[in-house]
Amino acid sequence: METVATKAPARGLWSGDEAVALAALDGGVALGTGYPGTPSTEILEAFSELGGRAQWAPNEKVALEVGLGAAFAGARVLVTMKHVGVNVAADPLFTAAYTGVDGALVLVSADDPGMASSQNEQDNRRYAIAAGVPMLEPASSQEAYDFTLAAFELSTRWKIPVILRMTTRVCHSKSVVRRRETPVPPAAPARFVRDIRGRVMVPAFARPAHRKLRQKLEEIRAWAETSPLNRIHEASLALGVVTAGVSFQHVREAAPEASVFKLGVVYPFPMESLRRFAAGVERCVVVEEGDPVLADAMRAAGISVESKAEMFRFGELTVERVRRILARDESPEAPPARQKPPELCDACPYHPVYGALQRMGCIVAGDIGCYTLGVMEPYQAMDTCVAMGASIGVGLGLRHVLPEVQARKVVSVIGDSTFIHSGLSGLVEMVYNPPATGHVLLVLDNGTTAMTGQQEHPGTGRTMTHDATGHVSIEGMARAAGVPNVDVVDPVKDPKGFEDLLARRLASNDLSVIVARRPCILAAADIRHFEKVNAEKAAQASSPCSACGSDDAV
């Protein structure tokens, strides 16, 4: 397989994700951790392929906490996730801004404007403002490489976590990258230095920590005013555009005549430089994808700028849309070309599951993964899908208040990786506050994180690199939590048995967990291969003479 590592080392055609991984390698990152999520997944995969130490965490919150611990000990750490993953990691993030770090910590937030593969198009620039952490935003693979290294420098210098905000087009587009000739000197060896006031955020210590954070942000703003990460392309005085990220590329193509202020540091805002730029042009337009974050901030600072019409808040920007923004053209846009929607693979083991749910008229509280496609024709067998792990709480809520006839039809459906990610708390809630009609939780276990490209997770018992490690048993967790009925079935081998079992469990007032286990059709051959290799390794390790390779002991 073609990987970053096999390409020319000095100059190559890399995706933004690969460029971040390469920078992590050249920047001496000791640990990469995260949870898979489009469009961020390839960063850690590429980092691992390049020889970096990378691991999947059960979810983004744990990933950030592991990263924070390593950074407290002086290491350089990369933590990756998609935009909605930052919601999961937000709790430690906001307080990590107070504690700061001893080594360096860069969190990649991969946003998905236009929702190519996401449930919302939230604009995570708002997280930088809300948590009070600096944010850099690259516009190309070269900048993804350069800004990752710059983010580590910034994090090291001010001892603060830094967010690198990517978007789908920067993550997944390939463009030319030139690598640094001299690698960054390694960090000092990890060591523990006690700093109770700095890291134990009880109110008495958190109050001064907050003041210190605001002081740091002011210093970083002053630095950002002249940072080379912000660039001004000087051209026409009639039109000035303020932009960042991939929108910069669209602006250069749509309006080559315009002067452009391109932000690399998107927070803290280099407001005085922006003020000077805006004052120096006749017309100043802010071109930004998503929410009007920058335009609102500039206006709040008393700078008069034009921003895009509301219709351009939705979806990605393109060269055509930027032309329209600059021409103040708000006429209706042509509807997007008809596309064939995605669907469950022909041989997907979930077909019999959704067939049964549809026939039985179930009310399905669904979740996030390939199996969300059960909502499409011919099944339309999913009624809610909100957030990772939400199927369980939502299903319970429905059961609590619906009339009994309907309550009995409610099933929570969640995938294996999603269950590990954030289904465990829902499982506990189910045992602690059971609805009067009981509840049925259906875990669709295809043995992989299928939708994002078949990543391992704690339930597979294999690490990111497919080596054997501790295995978390889904049915074991359900039994340990106190669920009375826990069954494991193969929905393909015994579809009738599966359907009968589901009917019985729905009719009872008990709590039930049914694990429908059958490997993903795309991953099955690989899974068999990994199992075989790991079994051979284990056999070798347990053989008495493996140490010296001698045959004498037979």
Residues at the contact surface with other proteins, assessed by CB under 8 A = 1-2, 6, 13, 38-39, 116-117, 140, 168-169, 172-176, 246, 249-250, 252-253, 318-320, 334, 337-345, 370, 373, 451-452
Nearer to other proteins, 156 or 418 (CB): 418
Nearer to other proteins, 1 or 436 (CB): 1
Measured from the CB of residue 377, what is the shortest distance to other proteins in angstroms? 13
Measured from the CB of residue 416, what is the shortest distance to other proteins in angstroms? 17
Measured from the CB of residue 311, what is the shortest distance to other proteins in angstroms? 17
Measured from the CB of residue 116, what is the shortest distance to other proteins in angstroms? 4
Nearer to other proteins, 397 or 453 (CB): 453
Q: Would you state the torsion angle of the CA atoms of residues 74, 167, 421, 530, taken in this order, to the nearest 10 degrees? A: -90
| DSSP class per residue in 198-221 | HH---HHHHHHHHHHHHHHHHHHH
* Helix, strand, coil % in the chain, rounded to nearest 5: 40, 20, 40
Structure tokens at 345: 């693979």
Nearer to other proteins, 139 or 150 (CB): 139
Preceding amide of 484 cis, omega within 30: no
Beta strands in 272-425 (DSSP E): 283-287, 306-307, 363-365, 410-415
Nearer to other proteins, 250 or 421 (CB): 250
* 8 A C-beta contact, residue 4 and residue 46: yes
Measured from the CB of residue 109, what is the shortest distance to other proteins in angstroms? 16
Q: Please measure the distance between the N-terminal and C-terminal CA atoms of the chain and give it in whole angstroms.
A: 40
Nearer to other proteins, 7 or 313 (CB): 7
Q: From CA 282, how far away is CA 193, in angstroms rounded?
A: 54
Q: From CA 42, how far away is CA 87, in angstroms rounded?
A: 20
Nearer to other proteins, 176 or 480 (CB): 176
Q: From CA 111, how far away is CA 113, in angstroms rounded?
A: 6
Measured from the CB of residue 367, what is the shortest distance to other proteins in angstroms? 14
Q: How many residues does the chain have?
A: 554
Beta pairing class for 258-263 and 265-267:
unpaired
Preceding amide of 349 cis, omega within 30: no
Q: What are phi and psi of 261, to 5 degrees?
A: -100, 110
Nearer to other proteins, 119 or 485 (CB): 119
Rounded CA Rg of the chain: 26
> What is the three-class DSSP state of 317?
coil
> What is the three-class DSSP state of 115?
coil
* 8 A C-beta contact, residue 147 and residue 16: no
> What is the three-class DSSP state of 111?
strand
Measured from the CB of residue 256, what is the shortest distance to other proteins in angstroms? 9
Nearer to other proteins, 169 or 421 (CB): 169
Nearer to other proteins, 45 or 65 (CB): 45
Q: From CA 497, how far away is CA 74, in angstroms rounded?
A: 55
Nearer to other proteins, 125 or 262 (CB): 262
Q: From CA 542, how far away is CA 75, in angstroms rounded?
A: 35
Question: Quick one: which of 138, 168, 385 has its CA closest to 264?
Answer: 138
Question: Quick one: which of 253, 281, 303, 291 has its CA closest to 261?
Answer: 281
Q: What are phi and psi of 51, to 5 degrees?
A: 105, 0
* Burial of 148: CB neighbours in 10 Å, binned 0-12, 13-18, 19+: buried
Nearer to other proteins, 85 or 134 (CB): 85
Measured from the CB of residue 318, what is the shortest distance to other proteins in angstroms? 6
Nearer to other proteins, 407 or 451 (CB): 451
H/E element holding 505? helix 495-507
Structure tokens at 63: 């990933």
Question: Quick one: which of 232, 262, 225, 231 has its CA closest to 246?
Answer: 262
Measured from the CB of residue 467, what is the shortest distance to other proteins in angstroms? 23
Nearer to other proteins, 176 or 535 (CB): 176
- Return the amino acid letter for 171: C
- Which residue is it, tokens 């906490």? 65
Measured from the CB of residue 182, what is the shortest distance to other proteins in angstroms? 24
Structure tokens at 342: 């995605």
